[in-house]
Amino acid sequence: MMQKEKQLLEKHLIDLSRQAYHRNIVTYSDFMNLNELNILHSIPKNKLYTGFITFGGYDFAERQMAAFLPDALSLRTEDAGGDVSDLFSQELYVLRISPLNRKYAEELNHRDYLGAILNLGIERGKTGDILIEDTDALLFVRPQMREFLSEQLTRIRHTSVTVKVDELTGFHYEPRFEEIKGTVASVRLDSLLSVAFSTSRSKLTGLIEGGKVFVNGRLITTNAYQVKEHDKISVRGIGKFEYVETLTVTRKNRIYVSIHKYI
């Protein structure tokens, strides 16, 4: 992202926080990618007027919106135990895209769905993650997109499709994952990446220093960063995983860890 674009986004997010504070309402951003989320997390707290939470429709969503919360609501949200979906129930909808005829449907991938959506002239920030479920796809969208896409999205490549609108309330999606166990000398970021992706640490060092690795939405460029249990790590172009826990320590003082790699 260019420096000017970064400054404009930071200014916009600060303004949303200002509006939430002065008007005592919740304000929402569009969907942000990992780089944009990192800009949000990097804004000094003294520049923001309120706290915020991020959510993309399900746990471990890569593209997420931010909700800026007035102080009273922020405290109530913390007391509620962390379930934030109600806060986004009127600002985020789930679309299920299904083939009209499953028997003759093509095998469609993420790029096919995204291309068809963007070809309708939709800004990427108005849509969140696209999840493939067999012959269907789930798409998270801002409210202004639900009716438009329901009417205009009729074909993905050569497959005719229908779009059904689901509300976020009651929606639940559990990402599929593969459990990986391995030993590391310490729970450094590069060590866990090596376990998760079975790749040499020298290659992973380039990914970390190249600005492609994010922990809980924050860009991390230090190989020795100490990861905590339940931290979520995303590597652009490769995949994402959760460091679940330390299982035990071996006699040679190596740490036996459990990782959920999302597939």
pLDDT tens figures, 117-152: 999 999 999 999 999 988 999 999 999 999 999 999
Q: Which pLDDT score, from 0 to 100, does residue 126 have?
A: 96
**The pair of three-digit structure tokens given for residue 251, joined into one six-digit string:** 């006699």
pTM of the model: 0.85
Q: How many Å apart are CA 262 and CA 93, to the nearest integer? A: 23
Mean pLDDT of 209-232: 93
Strand order across the beta sheet in which 27-28 lies? 27-28, 65-69, 51-55
In tens, the pLDDT along 44-64 reads: 999 999 999 999 999 889 999
- Two tokens, residue 187: 């729970």
- Model confidence at 80: pLDDT above 50: no
Task: Give ∠ CA 130-113-31 in degrees, rounded to 5.
Answer: 40
The confidence score (pLDDT) of residue 230 equals 93
CA distances from 182 to 77, 95, 98, 208, 221 (A): 37, 38, 39, 21, 23
pLDDT at 72: 67
What are the structure tokens assigned to 155, written together? 């074909």
What pLDDT, on a 0 to 100 scale, did the predictor assign at position 79?
Answer: 46
For residue 68, pLDDT beyond 90: yes
Question: Once rounded to an integer, what is the mean pLDDT over residues 229-257?
Answer: 93
Q: Is 80 exposed, middle or buried, given 0-12, 13-18 or 19+ CB atoms closer than 10 A?
A: exposed
> What is the pLDDT at residue 237?
84
Tell me the CA end-to-end span of the chain in Å, nearest whole number. Answer: 28
